[in-house]
Amino acid sequence: MTHIEFYRHNISEQDIKNIAKVLKGIFLSTGKNVADFENSFAGYLGCKYAVGTTSCTASMHLALEAFGVGLGDEVITTPLTFVATSNAILHTGADPVFVDVEEETGNINADLIERAITKKTKAILPVHLYGQMADMKKIRKIADKHKLKVIEDAAHCMEGARDGARVGQLSDAACFSFYATKNITCGEGGAISLNNEKTASLLKKTRLHGLEQSAYERYEKKFTHSDMAFYGWKYNMNNIQASLLAGQLSRIEKLWRRREEICKRYTKAFQNVPGINLPKTLDGVKHARHLFTIWVDSGKRSQIREELQKRGVANVVNYWPAVHLMTYYRKRYGYKPGDFPVAEAISEKTITLPFYPKLTNKEVDFIIANVLDVIKL
């Protein structure tokens, strides 16, 4: 029986050779492979610096801390995201302040941000949901007016652009994920991109306990004792992760083009089908095409998902419940259903379909046929 996995990575024989080379060498932790990957990644994004970390969560935590966000501060974000986004805010001691999302895209509604700003607000942390950039031009303008930092959760959006600006170009820092199902992956990993040299240099220290020198620097040069000038964490990317990412990064646009083709095939089949709505790709957007979601009748979502699974089409939900309705957030902040109605409505009706370059057209057509069949139930 056909079984289509939700995700299959795109690691090649050459990528495996690259890892083997690191494993046969001496230095497994943060070293030259990481520095080389950071340079290539910054080059790809069109920004000055990239800092390799262990995850997007760690990246957001580090970036918020680097901009001085801490206890008693507030950071504005979206409730329609993975818990990592708001958890990273909690890691700093600050409180997340949620703002509802746009009906058409599921991205934070920039028109609602200003009314959520208080004296405690320090930063805005938009998420580029599914791979479509939030309205960064508007968000940057609001941030400048209120002297706030902008940190992008770009876990879905390495390849994205909007209104002529790439991801990372209108913010103070952008944070990326190389988690197992991301567009390029090393199982677990992350990065921060930014244009400020001083902050980049600080982040390279705070990702490793705040130490002045990494083990590699001590290994390469003559051994010296390393002072700890800053408070830091253990969030450094290692050479094994970097070596696995390097090859995928060189193919990133090719991989994106294949997802774009699959997206076109899905969109053609699903648009104008009763019972299916698709998030809108706005004019002026280069969508990174990370997740392909359909929005179905909320009352039938579970039945549709389970039936698809039975027929061999793996699928997941991004995201349910909306973060403010997770038990911890309800208990800590007293949130209740109805607080962010648009995010809640999307979270009730969304289904994410398999969407990766290795899918064959035959598999895509199998998924389409089953979705069209099941939606009639």
* Residue linked to tokens 């992008």: 152
Q: Per DSSP, what are the bridge partners of residue 26?
A: none
Stretch of 19-27, 93-101, 149-157, 301-309 contacting ligand PLP, by CB under 6 A: 149-157
Report the residue number, 61 or 305, with the smaller CB distance to ligand PLP.
Answer: 61
Report the residue number, 74 or 153, with the smaller CB distance to ligand PLP.
Answer: 153
- Separation CA 357–CA 251 (nearest Å): 11
For 249-364, list the strands marked E by DSSP. 276-277, 285-286, 292-296, 350-353
Stretch of 82-90, 137-145, 303-311, 336-344 contacting ligand PLP, by CB under 6 A: 82-90
Check residue 183 for interaction with ligand PLP (CB under 6 A).
Answer: no
Check residue 121 for interaction with ligand PLP (CB under 6 A).
Answer: no
Site string for ligand PLP, 239-278 (x = CB under 6 A): ----------------------------------------
From candidates 127, 139, 245, 343, binder to ligand PLP by CB under 6 A: 127
From candidates 151, 155, 211, 262, binder to ligand PLP by CB under 6 A: 155
**Least distance to ligand PLP, CB of residue 259, Å:** 16
62 contacts 56 by C-beta, under 8 angstroms: no
Site string for ligand PLP, 42-71 (x = CB under 6 A): -------------xxx--------------
**Least distance to ligand PLP, CB of residue 181, Å:** 7
Phi/psi-derived region of residue 343, left when phi > 0, alpha when psi is between -120 and 50, beta in every other case: alpha
Report residue 210 CA to chain centroid gap.
25
94 contacts 64 by C-beta, under 8 angstroms: yes
- Separation CA 86–CA 57 (nearest Å): 9
DSSP class of 114: G
Check residue 84 for interaction with ligand PLP (CB under 6 A).
Answer: yes
Q: Cα-flanking dihedrals φ and ψ of residue 158, to 5°?
A: -55, -40
From candidates 41, 179, 256, 266, binder to ligand PLP by CB under 6 A: 179
- Separation CA 244–CA 237 (nearest Å): 12
Report residue 290 CA to chain centroid gap.
9
Check residue 81 for interaction with ligand PLP (CB under 6 A).
Answer: yes
Q: Side chain identity at 30, as an amino acid letter?
A: T
Answer whether the bond into residue 319 is a cis peptide, omega within 30°. yes
Check residue 216 for interaction with ligand PLP (CB under 6 A).
Answer: no
321 contacts 347 by C-beta, under 8 angstroms: yes
Stretch of 37-45, 80-88, 209-217, 350-358 contacting ligand PLP, by CB under 6 A: 80-88
In the complex, the residues that contact ligand PLP under the rule CB under 6 A are 55-57, 81-82, 84-85, 127, 153, 155-156, 177, 179, 190
